[in-house]
Structure 1
Amino acid sequence: MKRVLVACGNGIATSTVVASKIREYAENAGVIIKTEQCKLMEVPGKGDDYDLVVTTGQFGGQVNTPVVGALSLLTGIGKEATLKEILSYLK
């Protein structure tokens, strides 16, 4: 099982929506994942413990884990490409 850290400004509302969309897409592709949410400012301390970090805002920090920007999962513009990119890291 892959672990995905989803980060937004406050680690509550936006990351909940994005995490749900990622889980649904991965499940439909036959990939089982576990998501957890946090604030963007927590990513540097937590990110290395996950297989992938997905953010809804600008992340300028450094982690050894791949980071995918996923604002498109909120706007809908480029959503499919972002989901495919996320899935490519989880297979």
Structure 2
Amino acid sequence: MAHKKILVVCGTGAATSTVVAVKLKEFCLTNGYDVSITQGKVSDILRGQASADFIVATTQVPASVAVPVIAGLPFLTGMGLDQTFAQIEAALKA
């Protein structure tokens, strides 16, 4: 499977994106996915600095962003996390 780049974004690029990045990294390692995970804030993507195969976001990402976005809020709430992991797996296998 090819190496994938994942960008995790939140409003400030610090708190919630860190929580999501840690859980996402654990999931990818456990399941044998070759990934690199970086963190950022939504304003970074708006400036065209999104170099990723897909984005996991804990905040709203404008529709103008061309990179596929997966909602990351379930990482914080625990609700719907299985479905989110399924979406991430599908994106990793694409």
Q: Please indicate, yes or no, whether the TM-score normalized by the shorter chain is above 0.5.
A: yes
Give runs of ≥4 in structure 1 deviating > 3 Å. Answer: none
Unaligned runs of 5+ in 2: none
TM-score by length of structure 1 reads 0.90
Among all aligned residue pairs of Structure 1 and Structure 2, give the percentage whose two residues are the same amino acid: 39
Q: How far apart, in 2, do the equivalents of 1:26 and 1:62 lie? A: 28
- Name the residue aligned to 1:69: 71
Q: How far apart, in 1, do the equivalents of 2:6 and 2:64 lie? A: 16
Q: Secondary structure at the match of 1:34?
A: strand
Greater percentage in helix:
1
- Name the residue aligned to 1:41: 43
Once the two structures are superposed, what CA deviation does each residue of 1:42-78 show, in whole Å capped at 9, x if it has no partner?
123122x211111001112423221111101100000
Query: How much does 1:79 deviate?
Result: 0.8
1:83 is aligned, of 67, 76, 85, to 85
Query: How much does 1:18 deviate?
Result: 0.2
- Name the residue aligned to 1:4: 6
Moved more, 25-34 or 2-11: 25-34
Matched, 1:58 2:60: yes
Q: How many residues align?
A: 90
Q: How far apart, in 2, do the equivalents of 1:63 and 1:18 lie? A: 20
Compute the RMSD of aligned alpha carbons.
Answer: 1.2
Query: How much does 1:36 deviate?
Result: 0.6
